[in-house]
Structure 1
Amino acid sequence: MTFLAFAAVFGAAIAASGCQQKAIRQPNDLIAADGRTLTVRGVDRYADQQGAPLDQIILIVRATFTNASALPESVSPNKFMLTDLMSGSTYLGLWGGDINVPAGTSQTVAPAQSLDVTVGFRVPVALGPARLSFSP
């Protein structure tokens, strides 16, 4: 095998494996939600890949949103907030911007219907217990 052929095969293998980092699972009770409109299904953390300060991580929250309103609700990542219960700091959901953050889309949810969402947040490494909320 020539060097160029080896390089092509090696490059293809690297590309196929993707650049995404492995998640570090977090306990679901790290993030609280009201249970009426939001239920947390899972939490993962990743090192921030965008050259942000070293004291920041990407927190990915998987949740189920239920529309408790009588009207259809437009749901998008930037309508989700994560509030640090110790410091009171609030972090808005991301529309992508990191290889580990899903690209956000806007969807309409009918009254009394549910939607599974995955939202990323750029937060400090030292984030303690937090509350997930939705702001129409």
Structure 2
Amino acid sequence: MLQPKRTQYRKHQKGKRRGIRSNQNNFDFGRFGIKALQHGIIEGKRIEAVRRVMTRRFKRSGQIWIRVFPDIVRTTKPSQSRMGKGKGGAAYWICRVQPGQILYEIAGVSTTVMEGAFKIASHKLGIKIGVFSRD
């Protein structure tokens, strides 16, 4: 599971979801890219699940670059606990995603194989995504 080794603060506040990520909508590595089309959050487990599904679909021939990293912690309190007594312990790690942000870059696979992997990845991520090519 993806998570940072160290952070400045143990717990984060939720914050707002706004803006368009315009500085990260260019390709740096691959031929194809999976780009977010709406705001949302992605858990570290989902990022890893999509990577595993795509490598299986590519039959380990292509190359994948992950452009997002879960660096924000989400906390939970136990169920049936009374109000108060603090925020709760760290449960899992997330990353905030904005429209236009590239999530994955892929190279070394054909277009048809990429379309099959994209279909599975769209079900796993939970936000609207689109595939874009460098061409």
Length-normalised TM-score, structure 1? 0.29
Instruction: Looking at secondary structure, tell me which structure has more helix per residue.
Output: 2
TM-score under structure 2 length normalisation: 0.29
Asked which structure has the greater RCO (Cα within 8 Å, sep 6+), the reply is 2
Q: Which has the higher strand share?
A: 1
Q: Which has the larger radius of gyration?
A: 1
